[in-house]
Structure 1
Amino acid sequence: MRGEASRIADRVSRDSLAPKLKATGEDAWRVGNELFAVTDLLDHNVQVERALTDPARPAADKTTMVHTLLEGKAHPMTVEILDDLVQRRWSKPHDIANAVEDFGVDAMMYYADATGTTMKVSVELAELHSALLNMPVVRTRLYDEHSSAEARVTLLHNVLSGNEISKVTMRLAEHATANPRHRRYLATIQWLINKLSRHMGESMVTVTTAAPLSDEQIDRLTKIYTKRTGHAVHINSVVDPTVLGGMRVQIGHEVNDNTVIAQLNKLKRSVQVTA
């Protein structure tokens, strides 16, 4: 949980710089990748993180340190974002890394906007989340910090091989894999889905069934969940034959699982308890 100072710093910084970041267009891809690299640097170098957030240190010293770290090779927007962040007050040193990561994700979303792939990214992330729900061993290995980042990313590529994934989806999934940031993998993917949904001004409703939904079913579900949430929704239909029948609906962190396999598992647990 971020403290009040960090929440204010993060909000004011993003509100002031969002229009400029969006205006970078396709350059936002480079900015996002650079910010992810800085996030990784801060996560693995406590001394640097503390130096950049020390309230007793002059702002000019901190911006000079930023320029030294970037060695004059970063995009001007990356430099401007970091210069702004190090001049703000943070409740905890680690909160600045969270803010840098947020900006990195924002940059990737703006790149998706510039290339017309925002909805595709949102759907692909939802599909990845749904697929990993049935792959507990794989998702555990994807955020196993005892394994090297290279090994985890290689596993991710193997899992996604054969799928035509957009470059933004792949980059976000790689970032979540290479630097788990002490989060469970599905939690990070859900966080990204929620950010995309807010960015698009609608909610992603992932509906998993054994057979494809008809157009009529999708229309009906859209109306039901638009009314229930009070704003526009997008139905992401995922087909998973292993659920056998019924429907699993996920909105954000809320999951309503009425699939046959879920009911069978529930019955199995009930029998084990009473045995």
Structure 2
Amino acid sequence: MRGEASRVADRESRDSFAAKLRASGDDAWQIGDELFGITCTLDHNPRLQRALTDPGRPVADKVKLLNELIGGKVQPMTMEIMTDLVSRSWSRAYDIDNATEDFAVDAMMYQADKDGVTLRVSIELAELQSALLNLPVVRADLSNSDSPIQARYDLLHALIGNEDFSKITVRLATHSTRNPRNRRYLQTIQWLINKFSRHMGESMVTVTTAAPLTDAQSERLAQIYSKKVGRPVHIHSVVDETVMGGMRIQMGDEVTDNTVVAQLQNLKRTVKAGTND
């Protein structure tokens, strides 16, 4: 969890650049790509993190170091963003990495807006998440930072296969495995889904059932959750025969599991607790 200084620095910096990023057109893709690369560099260089966030170091020195690292190699706005970040106060050195990643995702969302694929990217991320639900070994391999980067990259693209995913979806999914950032792969994908949902004012509700939802069920669930959150929602249906029946509904971090398998597990725990008594 970030400290107060870092939360303020992240939010104020991103707010100050929102309009510029939105207006950057096709440059948003490259800006986001460069910021993902910088995030990875910072993650693997704690000394660099500390040098760029040291409160006792003059801002001019930090900007000079930044220029030595990326000056003339990145988009002007990428340099502006990083200059702004190193001039702010941070609770912990590595929080600047989180802020840089947040900016990278913001840039990709604005590129998605320009391309008219924001909802598509959110749905594709949910489809990727669904595909991995029953592949625990693949999920573990994608999250394993000790595994060679190229091996993780190849595994992801073998999983995606010939799916006609947006280049933005592919870049986000690639970042999630090439630079796990001490997170589980599915955790990162859910985080991205949530960010896209908030960005477009729509929530992604994932409904897992043993058989496909009917149109009437999807419409009813959309009405219920739209009323609950006060904005439109998109119902993403996942079919998983192992749940046996009922529904598992996830919206962000909130999960309601009324599947048969969950009820059986609860019953088993209750019986076991009664036996122990």
User: Same fold by TM (over 0.5)?
Assistant: yes
Task: Give the distance between the partners of 2:131 and 2:261, measured in 1 at CA.
Answer: 15
1:178-197 per-position Cα deviation (integer Å, ceiling 9, x unaligned): 11111111211111111111
Cα offset for 1:234? 1.4
Classify 1:231/1:137 alpha carbon distance in 2 versus 1 (closer, same or farther; 3 Å): same
1:185 aligned to 2:153? no
- What is the identity, as a one-letter code, of the residue corresponding to 2:192? L
Task: Give the distance between the partners of 1:221 and 1:172, measured in 2 at CA.
Answer: 28
Task: Give the distance between the partners of 1:157 and 1:262, measured in 2 at CA.
Answer: 33
Give structure 1 stretches of 5+ with no counterpart: none
Task: Give the distance between the partners of 1:120 and 1:243, measured in 2 at CA.
Answer: 27
Percent of counterpart pairs with the same letter? 63
Name the stretch that deviates more: 203-212 or 1-10.
203-212
Classify 1:241/1:26 alpha carbon distance in 2 versus 1 (closer, same or farther; 3 Å): farther
Task: Give the distance between the partners of 2:14 and 2:200, measured in 1 at CA.
Answer: 17
Cα offset for 1:49? 1.1
Match of 2:84 in 1: 84
1:47-91 per-position Cα deviation (integer Å, ceiling 9, x unaligned): 111111111222122112212211402011101100110111111
1:195 aligned to 2:223? no
Q: How many residues align?
A: 275
Task: Give the distance between the partners of 1:254 and 1:158, measured in 2 at CA.
Answer: 31
The SS at the match of 1:25 is: coil
What is the correspondence of 1:77-226 to structure 2 with a 5 Å cutoff? 77-226=77-226
- What is the identity, as a one-letter code, of the residue corresponding to 1:200? M
Cα offset for 1:209? 2.3
Give structure 2 stretches of 5+ with no counterpart: none
1:187-219 per-position Cα deviation (integer Å, ceiling 9, x unaligned): 111111111111011211011223332222211
Task: Give the distance between the partners of 2:33 and 2:139, measured in 1 at CA.
Answer: 23
| Cα RMSD, aligned residues only | 1.9
The SS at the match of 1:173 is: helix
Match of 1:52 in 2: 52
Whether the 8 Å contact between 2:71 and 2:79 is mirrored in structure 1 is no
- What is the identity, as a one-letter code, of the residue corresponding to 1:156? L
Task: Give the distance between the partners of 1:197 and 1:58, measured in 2 at CA.
Answer: 39
What is the correspondence of 1:218-237 to structure 2 with a 5 Å cutoff? 218-237=218-237
Classify 1:266/1:161 alpha carbon distance in 2 versus 1 (closer, same or farther; 3 Å): farther
Whether the 8 Å contact between 2:243 and 2:260 is mirrored in structure 1 is yes
The SS at the match of 2:26 is: helix
Whether the 8 Å contact between 2:249 and 2:256 is mirrored in structure 1 is yes
Classify 1:148/1:242 alpha carbon distance in 2 versus 1 (closer, same or farther; 3 Å): same
1:206-240 per-position Cα deviation (integer Å, ceiling 9, x unaligned): 11223332222211111111122233211112233
TM-score by length of 1: 0.93
Match of 2:10 in 1: 10
Cα offset for 1:269? 6.5
Task: Give the distance between the partners of 2:261 and 2:163, measured in 1 at CA.
Answer: 26
Match of 2:255 in 1: 255
Classify 1:95/1:17 alpha carbon distance in 2 versus 1 (closer, same or farther; 3 Å): same
